[in-house]
Structure 1
């Protein structure tokens, strides 16, 4: 009897030790895995796109509200103007990724092409809403290869008069602004007699890069050194066997190389041409027609806040001096959008929709001069502030 009880006791203790060992080994493994995940270099961390998408779409104040439910200290940091979070809509949003107060989150899955509206209007200029946001032309590659006849039969407006030499500020031969165009063959219907639609408005020479050159010249008249890039991104696409949607990948190598080889560069502008019609992209100021601007910032890059600040500042200053010339600031990201636009390469990088497919070059040049004037004031004021802080 005693032998039998002892045998059963040994079996029980053996199972207990085995289970305890498994629990201990499991606990150690959990600590090791957690330690690895929290200390490993960010570039190599394991991440979940689903969890990332969930948390990205939820207002940050909701997390603060949840923390406050456990610790009242967080409640003091909750914005006074914000309403308490309703848990049912929040849980519904997390489970379905549908925002109860935003029908786009539902319709975007059902309607073809609707993801282009998956953006946020940060600053709405005159006439700007979700129906008038910039539209990118996406031509088939054969359109880009087709040689349209181009016609430029208008005089180029005179460049701004530089100040007297003794009062003129300059960057002393340093190029501080880089101007390029990812979609460099985007052109304008008034200068392409054979083209009938926005998707046909492309040309290897008469295109948005002419505006780049004008903006660079105008900046230089204000003493700011600028580089207007002449790279044909379309040719890079052909060379690499890429399609048009990979244009930002092609232009990225250009921007990276220029930044790496020019330590003086401080600002990077990517100029595009909108496909919206003339009534949306044109503004009459003091009896002259100007092409309107729209600033685009990618939401999904580490320089988002800095780039957004630059765009909103320029937007405000432009509209103060040239009422209505800027259509506002749009932040883009999420499914169906790039969300980066190479703006992770600089903390002063912005994409500018410059006029539209029905604008003429002289209207675009006037706007380039207006942007150069406003930007030069912003730049030299910033340089003065930096110099003052340096003296202190």
Structure 2
């Protein structure tokens, strides 16, 4: 084989390789499967929710909060349930009253007057002006009608919900420290990051510590009308795996009872989930889930203004 023939053969293979590489690049660039895919974890998880039914199949709660067996839920009607099974996005609960009546079931109607305020806060209130701290573990949470998306990393609409609560409490003479610290991303470590914020806030020895969130659930679960005004609803969340469970729960019951008395229909209930949610750090630390991603920011702000009335009634008592 002469030199010229060899050169043509090498040239042929070089051109062939170039064509193959070019075809691969073009196919990769324009193939639908290679294009960036919509996030199927963060946003979709926030948009998903768990439906909890009683033993008769009646829906008692829809929530985006992670649901596990042995979690508990005190409904808006003060019926106490325990989660007995979870399968995907469906869970079953039964009334705890029926399981162990000796546990002082709280299926009866509660009133603010019938529940004592936690002694830790009451004693402190006698010595110092009332002081509340507010922060946001999931600082990206937002509302679709306003932002067009359920999250805005570092600048979530939820900050404005906290600001509305802070404003209402301030008008009542309660001093406020509202932290705007971001704790993104919205992942399993968010509570570890917000724990540093809480630790700093607790140096102020507040009467209460509120972590303001919004839930993920159908709009119908969180939409209501109070005094003829469309507003969002509120659910209190407590970590059942913490040494402050009892004082946290007493505090939550007090606020729910006051809200039920002042603004019936505002509260969805109290959910006791697995974990501590940093509530192990303080006996009067609560999470408030205000509305869902489908509520408007305005509805959520109205909700916390009504919620403020209940907080004022309890802390100021």
Whether 1:118 aligns to 2:90 is: no
Deviations 1:238-290 (A, max 9, x none): xxxxx711000000011101212x13x12101111101121001111222111
The verdict on how the C-alpha distance between 1:215 and 1:182 changes in structure 2, with shifts beyond 3 A counting, is same
Of 220, 239, 253, the match for 1:279: 220
Q: CA deviation at 1:123?
A: 1.6
TM-score (norm 1): 0.50
Whether 1:221 aligns to 2:171 is: yes
Of 196, 200, 216, the match for 1:257: 200
Q: CA deviation at 1:174?
A: 4.9
Matches within 5 A, 1:28-39: none
The aligned counterpart of 1:349 is 285
Partners of 1:188 and 1:202 within 8 A in 2: no
The verdict on how the C-alpha distance between 1:363 and 1:245 changes in structure 2, with shifts beyond 3 A counting, is same
Name the structure with the higher strand share.
2
The verdict on how the C-alpha distance between 1:370 and 1:274 changes in structure 2, with shifts beyond 3 A counting, is same
CA distance in 1: counterparts of 2:272 and 2:308, whole angstroms: 23
Whether 1:288 aligns to 2:229 is: yes
The aligned counterpart of 1:90 is none
Name the structure with the higher helix share.
1
CA distance in 1: counterparts of 2:226 and 2:70, whole angstroms: 29
TM-score (norm 2): 0.61
Whether 1:232 aligns to 2:204 is: no
Matches within 5 A, 1:1-392: 116-125=67-76, 174=129, 176-193=131-148, 195=149, 200-234=150-184, 244-260=187-203, 262-263=204-205, 265-333=206-274, 339-381=275-317
CA distance in 2: counterparts of 1:311 and 1:342, whole angstroms: 15
Partners of 2:130 and 2:315 within 8 A in 1: no
CA distance in 2: counterparts of 1:361 and 1:323, whole angstroms: 21
Deviations 1:155-191 (A, max 9, x none): xxxxxxxxxxxxxxx9999561111110011000001
Partners of 1:180 and 1:271 within 8 A in 2: yes
Partners of 1:272 and 1:351 within 8 A in 2: yes
Deviations 1:200-223 (A, max 9, x none): 433533421111111111101011
Q: CA deviation at 1:116?
A: 2.0
What SS does the corresponding residue of 1:244 show, helix, strand or coil? coil
What count of residue pairs does the alignment treat as equivalent?
A: 213
The verdict on how the C-alpha distance between 1:357 and 1:231 changes in structure 2, with shifts beyond 3 A counting, is same
What SS does the corresponding residue of 1:248 show, helix, strand or coil? helix
CA distance in 2: counterparts of 1:125 and 1:315, whole angstroms: 9
Structure 1 segments (4+ residues) deviating >6 Å:
127-130, 170-173
CA distance in 2: counterparts of 1:377 and 1:315, whole angstroms: 11
Q: Gaps (5+ residues) in structure 1?
A: 1-101, 103-112, 131-169, 238-242, 334-338, 382-392
